[in-house]
Amino acid sequence: MDKQKLVMIGNGMAGVRAIEEILRENPNLYDITIFGQEPHPNYNRIQLSTVLQGDTTVNDIILNDWKWYENNNIRLFTGESVIDLDLKKKYVRTDKDRVVVYDKLIFATGSSPLMIPIPGVEKQGITGFRDISDCETMINCSEQYKNAVVIGGGLLGLEAAKGLTNLGMSVKVVHLMPYLMERQLDATASTMLKQELERQGISFLMEKQTVEITGEKRVSGLRFKDGSTVDADLVVMAIGILPNKALAEQVGIDANRGIIVNDFMKTNSKDVYAIGECAEHRGIAYGLVAPLYEQAKVLAKHICNKETEGYQGSVTGTQLKVAGVDLYSAGEIESGPDTKAIRVENEYEGVYKKVLIRDNQVVGTVLYGETAESTRLFRMLTQKEDISQMTSLSILQPAGEAEESDVASMPDEELVCGCNGVSKGTIVEAIHAQNLTTVNEVGACTNAGRSCGRCKPMIGEILEHTLGDSFDSSQQKEAICGCTTLSREEVVTEIRAKGLTNVKEVMNVLDWENDEGCSKCNPALNYYLGMVYPEYKDERVARLVNEKMHANIQKDGTYSVVPRMYGGVTTAEDLKKLAEVATKYDVPLVKLTGGQRIGLFGIKKENLTAIWEELDMPSGYAYGKTLRTVKTCVGKTFCRFGTQDSMGLGIELEKKFERIDTPHKFKMGVSACPRNCAEAGIKDIGIVGVDGGWEIYVAGNGGTDLRAGDLVYTVKTKEEVIEFASVFLQYYRETGTYLERTSKWVERMGLENIKKVLEDETQRTLLLERLDKTLARYNEPWKEAIENDEIKEKYYQVTTY
Ligand SMILES: Cc1cc2nc3c(=O)[nH]c(=O)nc-3n(C[C@H](O)[C@H](O)[C@H](O)COP(=O)(O)OP(=O)(O)OC[C@H]3O[C@@H](n4cnc5c(N)ncnc54)[C@H](O)[C@@H]3O)c2cc1C
Ligand SMILES: NC(=O)c1ccc[n+]([C@@H]2O[C@H](COP(=O)([O-])OP(=O)(O)OC[C@H]3O[C@@H](n4cnc5c(N)ncnc54)[C@H](O)[C@@H]3O)[C@@H](O)[C@H]2O)c1
Ligand code: SF4
Ligand code: FES
């Protein structure tokens, strides 16, 4: 039987989750087409706040990459909007004039930021905070301007304010009401929150109504109803959202605030459904993912002809994603005549808890400063548990807390992942049934942890508790070393999420078994920190011995000195200096290396800095997990076969990337014709001149794991070669595991996946920006050692006992 045609408008979080659920229910029922206005595959919009706050990158927030669509035979059209549809003839039409017919249609169009319709709102420098492009606007702005004003002191506004502060801007939040987050917090919690955010450097203008945006072409300030003003170079509007319902309304589908749906997410039009923020169910258009994912399950079951009770509406719980702020609220916020409140306020420790009770049931809670009880209170609230037998203390604190770990005493039905509605029981069952051993595997099977990510530590604890003795051994397989059970991915996620900034801090916060770490994790953590933070101050003590010394230690305890010879090209002057040094210090071996330079071997430690000073040449990093050499052939200037300037390009590449930290050593080669004298086919990046351009090969390796490079592109100019090398190198830096060569990395990641990321304009721009920032942090290490007595004394003096 022919598959039915399912078309979805919108490629966002709720819609794609519905598709995932449909594929889970019945992968063979539908031929699926998705249209997405944004140019990206499905990404985690929630994490835009963390991207803005500098804790993660756009690459890391992709939920389903291009390959996923391909693997599931989903036709995806990105950067393309549906602008019209015909409900009778059952087709949609896009802004690229593409017409696609459907049997079933899903609206998953999400919302748009509400912009205050006041004079000046069209000026440059005004943005919402909804998508990757808004995020980029803010990041770019922060590089040129100083004063940011965020209008709206709700969840979005405060997360934006924190992000802009982290980006170095001076941030003011303009709020209409007397209290921040007035929909989620009461006055006490709101005041505590404001004090904390002020402490973190954010200013507030409360009870201000903006009436005009001033400035010429670009915003220069805001004017308020009371006549006061504030300067602004950037204005972020975060005053709420409006469901995208216009297209549905335009063709006569019933809509109110959102597109009206019944309990099966069906609109009033045959075979047309709506889901996510664009949908209105029983009068509510939700703006958090938890209810949207519940809708996704119901919709999937319904259109796969499985039985379902239907969507009944949701109670939602809220958390703010700002470091240093721990708050939670759910249900009713303010006491009423028929509610009784349990309140605990500890000003000294900055803790506030309020639970509202009506008819022996919890109907609302606000927690600030300590939110460990949030999941239990949320369960009591949503399950309408009878609490008549409980004391106020036992409502706020579970019994037996001291004896048992939280996860051990947690009942199976307790919710672990609020975003995805996954309980402890479901996780434990999945661990047993599918032999899961990592947090990510649990996520892939149950969805737990795939949204805001706050529940990941608890999932880890459940894994540990459930697997007992087998936990360690199973985790060790991918742990970065024996000091931890955490994998590279988990460590990097934690560094970003917790803002960890140095090796010791990572070990402390992530409960390293060995306080000092080991020779495996010290350099790996130093590398990951340097990869996450472009301005990272390298921790020399954490490095491997050769990198610590900036010279390779030899088997007899002496060292080698290999100065940089860009592109393997040298001069008579440099050769003279090398000869003089070799004679003066009686260097036992002077040898041409495989990377086309000259190495001095057998140097005593105490002579290293003197030799470097006399050579006055940069370090060749022959010891480093970094760019080693760019081997070149003589090229068109001298060789009769040469069609390109291989030496010129090689030297330019080496000068650009020298000193950059990479997961493992990185080599390049440039040949000026396919005879390939520079052996570019066995380099991490190999470039071969052809008529009218260059072929680019990647992931070649001439070492123990011999591998020929894969041809990725043929380009016309050297600028294109340099740009490719830049983004490739940076993407490898960001996703490679420490000590993983590109040959292994490319096989693990898949060359096609890598190409897709590198071909994405936005990703490319961001990768280049991060690479440039990182390259700016390096100093010449030999020069530093010569000029710095402390370094000289610490590393290069002979110790006598
Ligand atoms: C910065 C930020 C932080 C957030 N933090 C949290 C949080 O911590 N917890 C939480 O639960 N929620 C959070 N949210 C809200 C959450 O991200 C949304 O509820 C969720 O993304 C909504 O999913 P959706 O699929 O309905 O809409 P979206 O994810 O917005 O997807 C809709 C997509 O449809 C596209 N589209 C619209 N019209 C068309 C058309 N005509 N043709 C083609 N494509 C179209 C849009 O471009 C968009 O890509 C946050 C939101 C933001 C912006
Ligand atoms: N951590 C999270 O869960 C999280 C984070 C970000 C966004 N979101 C979601 O994104 C959506 C948008 O968030 P939001 O904060 O924009 O919406 P919101 O409606 O929650 O908050 C908007 C805030 O702006 C204030 N406001 C309204 N008009 C104003 C004006 N003219 N001047 C100054 N202040 C004004 C309101 O008083 C309100 O507090 C929501 O659905 C939210 O749930 C959630
Ligand atoms: S690669 Fe080509 S140009 Fe370069 S030296 Fe060999 S033959 Fe000559
Ligand atoms: S609670 Fe948000 S992903 Fe689990």
The response to whether residue 287 sits with its C-beta less than 6 Å from ligand 1 reads yes
CB 343 within 8 A of CB 393: no
User: Tell me, what's the ipTM?
Assistant: 0.92
644 lies in some domain: yes
- Please check whether residue 330 is in contact with residue 356, taking contact to mean a CB–CB distance below 8 angstroms: no
pLDDT of residue 270: 96
Q: What is the pLDDT of residue 795?
A: 84
Backbone angles phi, psi at 46, to 5 degrees: -55, -35
Q: Which residue is associated with the tokens 């072929």?
A: 695
* H/E run at residue 390: none
At residue 151's C-alpha, the angle toward residues 150 and 152, to 5°, is 110
Please check whether residue 478 lies inside any domain of the structure. no
- Reported residue count of the chain is 801
Six-digit token string for 11: 């490629």
Q: Report whether pLDDT(475) > 90.
A: no
* Percentage of the chain modeled with pLDDT above 90: 71
635 alpha carbon – ligand 3 mean position (Å): 6
Pick from 722, 676, 728, 723: which is nearest to 702 by CA?
676
Distance 110 CA to ligand 1 centre (A): 5
Residue 690 to residue 709: CA distance in whole angstroms = 16
Atom number in ligand 3 closest to CA 676: 1
Whether 90 and 233 map to the same domain: the answer is: no
CA atoms within 13 A on the CB side of 557: 2
End-to-end CA distance of the chain: 86
pLDDT of 478 > 80? The answer is no
What is the dihedral sign for C-alpha 395, 396, 402, 408?
positive
Query: How do strand 30-36 and strand 4-9 relate by DSSP bridges?
Result: parallel
Q: Which domain holds residue 606?
A: 547-776
Q: Judge if the beta carbon of residue 63 lies within 6 A of ligand 1.
A: no
The amino acid sitting at 757 is V
pLDDT digits (tens, 9 = 90+) for 163-217: 999 888 999 999 999 999 999 999 999 999 999 999 989 999 999 999 999 999 9
User: In this structure, what DSSP letter does residue 626 have?
Assistant: B
Q: What is the CATH number of the domain that holds 94?
A: 3.50.50.60
Tokens of 462: 């459940």
Q: Is 27 left (phi over 0), alpha (psi -120 to 50) or beta?
A: alpha
| pLDDT per position as a tens digit, 597-651 | 999 999 998 899 999 999 999 999 999 999 999 999 999 989 999 999 999 999 9
Question: Read out DSSP for 691-760?
Answer: TTEEEEEES-B-SSS-BPPEEEEEESSHHHHHHHHHHHHHHHHHHPPTT--HHHHHHHH-HHHHHHHHH-
- CATH number for 423: 1.10.10.1100
**Is 11:78 a contact under the CB 8 Å cutoff?**
yes
C-beta separation of 78 from 5 below 8 A: no
pLDDT over threshold 80, residue 55: no
Residue 449 CB–ligand 4 contact under 6 Å: yes
Q: Out of 10-19, 93-102, 710-719, 754-763, pick the least confident.
A: 754-763
Q: How much distance in Å is there from the Cα of 371 to the middle of ligand 1?
A: 26
Query: Is the residue at 386 inside a domain?
Result: yes
Cα 678 to ligand 3 centroid, rounded to whole Å: 8
Residues 705, 683: Cα–Cα separation, whole Å: 12
Scanning the structure block, which residue is given the tokens 């200013």? 203
Which helix (H) or strand (E) covers residue 224, if one does?
strand 221-224
Q: Are residues 761 and 622 in the same domain?
A: yes
With residue 151 as reference, give the H or E element that holds it: strand 147-151
The reply to whether 798 falls in a domain is: no
Ligand 2 pocket residue status of 416, Cβ below 6 Å: no
227-248, pLDDT tens digit by residue?
999 999 999 999 999 999 999 9
177 pocket-lining for ligand 2 (C-beta < 6 Å): yes
Helix (H) or strand (E) holding 237: strand 234-237
Asked if residue 54 belongs to a domain, the reply is yes
Domain-located, residue 791: no
Considering only CA atoms, which residue is closest to atom 38 of ligand 1? 109
504-538, pLDDT tens digit by residue?
999 999 988 777 777 778 899 999 999 999 989 88
Helices 439-446 & 424-434, crossing angle to 10 degrees? 100
Which domain CATH number covers 614?
3.30.413.10
Q: Which residue has the tokens 């500098």?
A: 54
The answer to whether 331 and 356 are in contact (CB under 8 A) is yes
Answer whether 369's CB lies under 8 Å from 351's CB.
yes
Which atom from ligand 2 is nearest to the alpha carbon of 157?
15
Closest ligand to the CA of 457: 4
Ligand of minimum distance to the alpha carbon of 671: 3
Looking at residue 476, its pLDDT comes to 37
The last residue of one of the domains, among 239, 267, 292, is: 239
How far is residue 448 CA from its own chain's centroid?
18
- Look up residue 175 and give its DSSP letter: -
Is pLDDT above 70 for 471? no
Same domain, 554 and 503: no
Q: Is the sign of the CA dihedral 463, 467, 472, 473 positive or negative?
A: negative
What pLDDT is stored for residue 403 in this prediction?
A: 37
Distance CA(288)–CA(277), nearest Å, equals: 8
| pLDDT at residue 323 tops 80 | no
Is the CB of 795 within 6 Å of ligand 3? no
Other C-beta atoms closer than 10 Å to the C-beta of 252 total 10
What's the rounded Cα separation, in Å, for the pair 651 and 670? 10
The CA distance from 339 to 366, in Å, is: 14
List, in sequence order, the alpha helices (H) in 85-216. 132-144, 155-166, 187-199
Q: What is the pLDDT of residues 662-682, one digit of tens each?
A: 999 999 999 999 999 999 999
Q: How many domains does the chain have?
A: 6
Residue 474 has pLDDT above 60, yes or no: no
Band (pLDDT 50/70/90 cuts) for residue 540 is confident
Residue 730 Cβ < 6 Å to ligand 2: no
Shared domain for 578 and 716, answered yes or no, is yes
Residue for token pair 């649990």: 442
Q: What is the pLDDT of residue 452?
A: 87
482 falls within a domain:
no
CA atoms within 13 A on the CB side of 46: 20
Nearest CA owner, ligand 1 atom 34: 10
Q: What is the pLDDT of residue 473?
A: 41
Q: How confident is the model at residue 798 (pLDDT cuts 50, 70, 90)?
A: low
For residues 571 and 706, membership in a common domain is answered with: yes
Please give the distance, rounded to the nearest whole angstrom, from the Cα atom of residue 11 to the centre of ligand 1. 9
**What burial letters (b/e) apply to 570-595, b meaning 16+ CB within 10 Å?**
beeebeebbeebbeebebeeeeebeb
* One-character DSSP codes across 472-504: HHHHHTTBSSTT-S-BHHHHHHHHHHHT--SHH
| Most informative mutation of 569, 639, 643 for ligand 3 (most atoms within 8 A of CB) | 639
Alpha-carbon Rg for the chain, nearest whole angstrom, is 30
pLDDT grade, residue 44 (50/70/90)?
Answer: very high
Q: Is 720 contained in some domain?
A: yes
Nearest to 13 by CA among 156, 109, 146, 94: 109
Structural contact between residues 721 and 649, judged by C-beta atoms closer than 8 angstroms = yes
Nearest CA to ligand 2 atom 35: 152
Residues 555 and 648 in one domain: yes
- C-alpha–C-alpha distance, residues 549 and 200, integer Å: 39
Residue 669 shares a structural domain with residue 575: yes
Residue 772 has pLDDT above 90, yes or no: yes
Residues 595 and 664 in one domain: yes
Residue 378 sits in a domain of what CATH number? 3.30.390.30
Which DSSP state fits 450?
S
Taking the whole predicted model, whether its pTM rises above 0.80 is answered as no
Within 10 Å of residue 729's Cβ, how many Cβ atoms?
A: 23
Encoded tokens for 147: 């004063």
pLDDT at 295 (0 to 100)? 98
Per-residue model confidence (pLDDT) at position 410: 82
How would residue 105 be classed by pLDDT, with cut points 50, 70 and 90?
A: very high
Whether residues 712 and 737 share a domain: the answer is yes
- Please give the C-alpha separations between residue 291 and each of 285, 318, 368, 427, 521, in angstroms, as whole numbers: 10, 12, 23, 20, 41
Mean pLDDT for the chain overall: 91
- Give the pLDDT band of residue 483 (cuts 50, 70, 90): confident
Pocket probe for ligand 4: among 445, 451, 459, the residue whose CB has the most ligand atoms within 8 Å is 451
In short, whether 549's Cβ falls inside 6 Å of ligand 2 is no
Residue having the nearest C-alpha atom to atom 44 of ligand 2: 155
Q: pLDDT for 383-430, tens place per residue?
A: 899 988 887 777 877 544 433 456 777 888 888 898 998 999 999 999
Same-domain status, 365 and 219: no
Using a pLDDT cut of 70, give the percent of the chain over it. Answer: 97
Q: Is 239 in the pocket of ligand 2 (CB under 6 A)?
A: yes
Q: What is the pLDDT of residues 585-606, one digit of tens each?
A: 999 999 999 999 999 999 998 8
What kind and span of H or E run contains 590?
Answer: strand 589-592
Distance of alpha carbon 784 from alpha carbon 540, whole angstroms: 13
One domain for residues 719 and 578: yes
| Whether the Cβ atoms of residue 233 and residue 177 lie closer than 8 Å to each other | no
According to DSSP, the residues that pair with 236 across neighbouring strands are: 127, 150
Atom of ligand 4 nearest to the CA of 418: 1
18 with 99, same domain: the answer is: yes
